[in-house]
Amino acid sequence: MNPTSAIEQSQTALGIELGSTRIKAVLIGPNHAPLASGSHAWENRYENGIWTYPLEEVWTGLQETIRALKADVQNRYNLRLNKVGAMGLSAMMHGYLAFDANGNLLVPFRTWRNTITGQAAAELTELFQFNIPQRWSIAHLYQAILNAETHINHISHLTTLAGYVHSKLSGQNVLGIGEASGMFPIDSTRNDYNQHMLSLFDEKLAQRSIPWRLRDILPRVLLAGQPGGTLTQEGAQLLDPTGELQPGIPLCPPEGDAGTGMVATNSIAARTGNVSAGTSVFAMVVMEKPLSKVYPEIDLVTTPTGKPVAMVHSNNCTSDLNAWVGLFHEFTQTLGIQITEETLYETLYRLALSADPDAGGLLAYNYVSGEHITHIEEGRPLLVRTPDSRFTLANFMRTHLFASLSALKIGMEILLEQEKVQLERIFGHGGFFKTPEVGQRIMAAALGVPVSTLSTAGEGGAWGMALLAAYMHNKNSTETLETYLNERVFSGEQALTISPDPTDVQGFAAFIQRYKRGLEIEKIAAETLK
């Protein structure tokens, strides 16, 4: 079916993802290839000690994204987009969105980036004997309880950003299981929240005379392929105030950016893995067996089908690097040199490949926010060098690319070296891999395993979400998501794989030792630069 006919006959699926710096929508056709897209740039704010996004900007951003998507369809196919076959919503995982019975937001949205729940995370990890990271919704909730925040007794509904948007579009308070696993631990034998841990938490609530129980305020858990409701008239108006977008579109369960990354790289079977590198960086490894013990550096979440996944998540990846590239762009503009940001990125990234293998003795910490893997509570981006460091632009860029992956490397050492997890290769996606070869070489040097990218990886999580919507809409009664992806989506896809270069591996090994030794510098910077 040609694209025009597919759009006219609604043989399409739409995926929307609210990422940390960009909201993106991707429309795909029957062969799952992107037909059109739209996006909107946005940024979190640091207000009153909290990383947040105002909910008004969620909706203005979504509306601008849909407007851009419709304009792209009009420009490419001379068609007005008013209907799609199915759609799905995704967003950055975790965080805290608490509402009262009337749907009023009780406190400003607390995103995954906040590292303010240390006491709660530690107590819950001990209580559950299961690692509860600081950014998980349950950690935010319990920290608010420990802080005796006045809104606690008024909570009627707790959700994530993806769950919030989905509920406003469909009226359904549900989450895909992968997204739900970043709120509260999942029992993969039942594909639901862990009942034993729910009971333990409810005992804590009863001790404090809190009037609700946890399951009552959590979204209902759904698996990939199950229906998640339909777009209501009110929801259609929220997305497209022009009134052109029609209600009645089936919605699949909302998922998190980790789940859409797994789908977009076909990494949902055991012994597969993927790494998403952008504002934050996280590696996902589908497990064959449980870990031998609880590690605070490793989260246990699930695939969109409920399989256990070990997740190493670093809060900081390219934000500091992007800031430096922005500074260089400002410099070129000051000189009157016309160069696009895309060209500047590619030029600087490629320069890093000609640098000294260990980045010339330079050291950087890219901590815009705190970093739980290295036990840093507040971020202070730093560049450090000794008098004899080789301070060249190539080494400067290699240093910041290395720094972007260093916290991830420390977490992955546990999986690959201590737990002996087997990985044949790992798929990469996200902005870090946008310049061909560079991101892959650096990631392969850091992890010591081949790194593959797909031609579709640049479409990212929005494309992965569109695939989940298409699966729900098109699957037959017995077709698993793994089969659907292998046979219908990726059967003809060619991956570009780069194996670790021994010189790069040795260079990164020298850098990471310097990085570990220098962590005290970052701690002191956070303490002294308030």
For 381-412, the pLDDT digits (tens) are 999 999 999 999 999 999 999 999 999 999 99
pLDDT at 458 over 70: no
Equal CATH topology for 3-264+461-489 and 319-455+502-528 = yes
Integer Cα distance of 384 and 63 in angstroms: 43
Which pLDDT score, from 0 to 100, does residue 297 have? 87
What predicted TM-score, i.e. pTM, was given to this entire model? 0.83
Which pLDDT score, from 0 to 100, does residue 424 have? 77
Residue 448 or residue 423, greater confidence: 448
Integer Cα distance of 246 and 81 in angstroms: 9
Long-range contacts formed by 226-230: CB under 8 A, 24+ apart: 226/252, 226/253, 226/472, 227/251, 227/252, 227/472, 228/88, 228/166, 228/170, 228/172, 228/174, 228/176, 228/252, 228/253, 228/254, 228/472, 229/166, 229/170, 229/171, 229/172, 229/174, 230/170
Of 69-83, 110-124, 205-219, 269-283, the poorest mean pLDDT is in 269-283
Quote the distance between the C-alpha of residue 495 and its chain's center.
22
Average pLDDT over residues 484-504: 91
Structure tokens at 266: 């076909």
Which pLDDT score, from 0 to 100, does residue 412 have? 94
Alpha-carbon torsion (88, 166, 302, 46), positive or negative: positive
Integer Cα distance of 349 and 399 in angstroms: 11
Give the pLDDT confidence of 122-178 residue by residue, as tens digits: 999 999 999 999 999 999 999 999 999 999 999 999 999 999 999 999 999 999 999
Type of residue at 497: T
Q: Which of 265, 297, 267, 306 lies closest to 285 in space, CA to CA?
A: 267
Whether the CB-CB separation of 72 and 36 falls below 8 Å is answered with yes
pLDDT at 203 over 90: yes
Average pLDDT over residues 337-356: 96
Average pLDDT over residues 335-349: 95
Average pLDDT over residues 475-499: 91
Which pLDDT score, from 0 to 100, does residue 180 have? 98
At 41, is the pLDDT very low, low, confident or very high (cuts 50, 70, 90)?
Answer: very high
Domain ranges of the chain: 3-264+461-489, 319-455+502-528
At 459, is the pLDDT very low, low, confident or very high (cuts 50, 70, 90)?
Answer: low
Give the pLDDT confidence of 245-272 residue by residue, as tens digits: 999 999 999 999 989 989 998 888 877 8
Q: Which of 293, 247, 309 lies closest to 82 in space, CA to CA?
A: 247
Average pLDDT over residues 85-108: 97
Give the pLDDT confidence of 54-66 residue by residue, as tens digits: 999 999 999 999 9
Q: Topology of domain 3-264+461-489, per CATH?
A: Nucleotidyltransferase; domain 5 (3.30.420)
Which pLDDT score, from 0 to 100, does residue 460 have? 76
Of the chain, the end-to-end C-alpha distance in Å amounts to: 59
At 457, is the pLDDT very low, low, confident or very high (cuts 50, 70, 90)?
Answer: low
Q: Which CATH architecture has domain 319-455+502-528?
A: 2-Layer Sandwich (3.30)
Computed over every residue of the chain, the mean pLDDT equals 94
